[in-house]
Structure 1
Amino acid sequence: MQEPSSELHLRPVERRRAYQEVVAQIQQEILAGRLRSGDRLPGERQLSEMLGVSRSSVREALRVLETLDIVRARTGTGPESGSIIVGEAGGTMGGVLLMHAALDHFSLEDVVNVRVALEGQAVRAAAQLRDDEQLASLEKLVHRMESGDLGPEEFLELDSSFHVVIAQASGNRLTGYVMQSLRQLIEHWLGQLLLPHPGWPELRTALASEHREVFEAIRDGDGERGAEILTEHIRKAYERVKR
């Protein structure tokens, strides 16, 4: 048996603070399948007794888990109060991505390439898997984008929702979550384009037309055409930001 390298940079293991241990144990219960979406955690007092820590440590752990979108706290008393394991991904990752982008941990081009790869595949899948409800949602969003009185801020919200619905229509829940997480970042960067744009009416018309073409390709089951249009739409949008 080969001896481990003497150059390993190992350090003595540091003792974790009590709230970190509480967080770790709850996460482990989720990973083991003993806690599932919708399950209610024991109350603060009971958790404190079960884990042998103070109630303040339990509260701090629950705040961390809530920040991570793992639990949702319900205030008050009675059977409806307490913390519940969250069943849907929240917006925490979106905020994290936005901060990392602000710190130049990745570039605008990185985001463009991820969107092209992710959404191109999503459009192809959505064209095959979409249902009537999703088609109706996409058409309604496009119709609102085509409204002549629409301002840049409202248009940007509709734009984000349109792309998220496509991701959700792909049938891949992770794709939907990633697009939802990218939403804050996309709105931040495209906001730099739309809000001060002097030729807004003409730009709105062009963007709405591009979205309608994508919708019609999905409606007609033509995923390749939809992906081609969407790829061009995404790249053109970010080229406008860079000008």
Structure 2
Amino acid sequence: MGEQGDAPHDFSRAVLQPVSGYQAVVGFLRREMALGRIQPGDRLPPERRLAEQLGVSRETLRQALRILEGSGQIVITRGASGGAIVQDAALDPRLIREEVRTRAAEIGALTEFREIVESGGAALAAARRTDADLEAMASAQSDLAAAITKAQSRVADTAFHLALAEASGNAFVRDAVEEARVRMFEPVDLMSFDFVKESSWHAHELILDAVRRGEAQAADEAMRAHLRTTRAEFTRVVEG
């Protein structure tokens, strides 16, 4: 997690092509937050530099930052040492739960989609993974075990799933996994998901073990079981 004295985050490598319009800027920054690429405490680059990195005008950027400030996702301070600092926004859990309930069908469909894509990706990873891939997944597991906040748990969980998707050797799988995780976290990111660390860590260990052994069917089945459990736990939290 970043500190306010850290160097500003650099988006120049993250942005493959310029975004267009303030809403697209808001969407891009929220996506980076959802994936844990920028975290609470991180400082965004100075206005001029960030506008250049995103390929937008400074006025467009200011509009986007005002929206993020209004939603509590950043705090903007003035002065020589000021800037935009990412926050761990804390919204009313009752409002978040209500939003999730209204989108239950969409989230259910996303869970089904993830089961289809990520189980196949896990099977491919068992056949194609490299030592570097295994190291990346093991590192994410270590981070998850050491996590002490919900944000840290989410970042480590995401890192594992993306490392596994990368190990599949299929760019379409990797992109689909990333997009599905962003869509999944949009409505549920600020809910209480204390179960994530415990259940996810153990499920990941089963998946990683199968991938290490090169057993595609076992990796597929372990991922399916993981995502079915995730769906059941999600339903319990929403209905609780």
Identify the TM-score tier after normalising by the shorter chain.
0.5 to 0.7
Relative distance call for 1:189 and 1:232 in structure 2 (3 A) is farther
Whole-Å separation in 2 of the counterparts to 1:164 and 1:119: 10
Structure 1: state its 5+ residue gaps: 1-37, 40-60, 70-74, 84-100
Relative distance call for 1:135 and 1:205 in structure 2 (3 A) is same
CA contact under 8 A between 1:125 and 1:170: conserved in structure 2? yes
CA contact under 8 A between 1:190 and 1:241: conserved in structure 2? no
Q: Deviations over 1:101-148 (max 9, x none)?
A: 99849522211110111001100100111111111000111122222x
Which amino acid is the alignment partner of residue 143 of structure 2? Answer: R
| TM-score (norm: length of structure 2) | 0.54
Q: Which residue of 2 aligns with 1:214?
A: 207
Identity of aligned residues (%): 16
Q: Which residue of 2 aligns with 1:229?
A: 222
Task: Give 1:208 shift.
Answer: 1.0
CA contact under 8 A between 2:107 and 2:184: conserved in structure 1? no
Report the 3-state secondary structure (helix = DSSP H, G, I; strand = E; otherwise coil) of the residue aligned with 1:107.
Answer: helix
2:112 is equivalent to residue 113 of structure 1 = yes
CA contact under 8 A between 1:190 and 1:238: conserved in structure 2? no
Q: Which residue of 2 aligns with 1:169?
A: 167
Which amino acid is the alignment partner of residue 217 of structure 2? Answer: E
Which amino acid is the alignment partner of residue 112 of structure 1? Answer: T
Which amino acid is the alignment partner of residue 222 of structure 1? Answer: E
Task: Give 1:152 shift.
Answer: 2.0
Q: Which residue of 2 aligns with 1:124?
A: 123
CA contact under 8 A between 1:130 and 1:170: conserved in structure 2? yes
Q: Which has the larger radius of gyration?
A: 1
Question: What are the residue-to-residue correspondences of 1:82-121 with 2, within 5 Å?
Answer: 104=103, 107-121=106-120
Q: Which residue of 1 aligns with 2:143?
A: 144
RMSD (Å), alpha carbons: 3.6
Greater shift, 205-214 or 221-230, is seen at 205-214
Relative distance call for 1:209 and 1:191 in structure 2 (3 A) is farther
Whole-Å separation in 1 of the counterparts to 2:153 and 2:232: 18
Q: Deviations over 1:3-47 (max 9, x none)?
A: xxxxxxxxxxxxxxxxxxxxxxxxxxxxxxxxxxx99xxxxxxxx
Relative distance call for 1:191 and 1:238 in structure 2 (3 A) is farther
Which amino acid is the alignment partner of residue 163 of structure 1? Answer: H
Report the 3-state secondary structure (helix = DSSP H, G, I; strand = E; otherwise coil) of the residue aligned with 1:192.
Answer: coil
Task: Give 1:232 shift.
Answer: 0.9
| TM-score (norm: length of structure 1) | 0.53
Q: Deviations over 1:158-182 (max 9, x none)?
A: 1112111111211111111111112
Q: Which residue of 1 aligns with 2:234?
A: 241
Task: Give 1:155 shift.
Answer: 0.7
Structure 2: state its 5+ residue gaps: 1-15, 29-47, 56-99
Whole-Å separation in 2 of the counterparts to 1:206 and 1:81: 38
Task: Give 1:219 shift.
Answer: 1.0
2:127 is equivalent to residue 134 of structure 1 = no
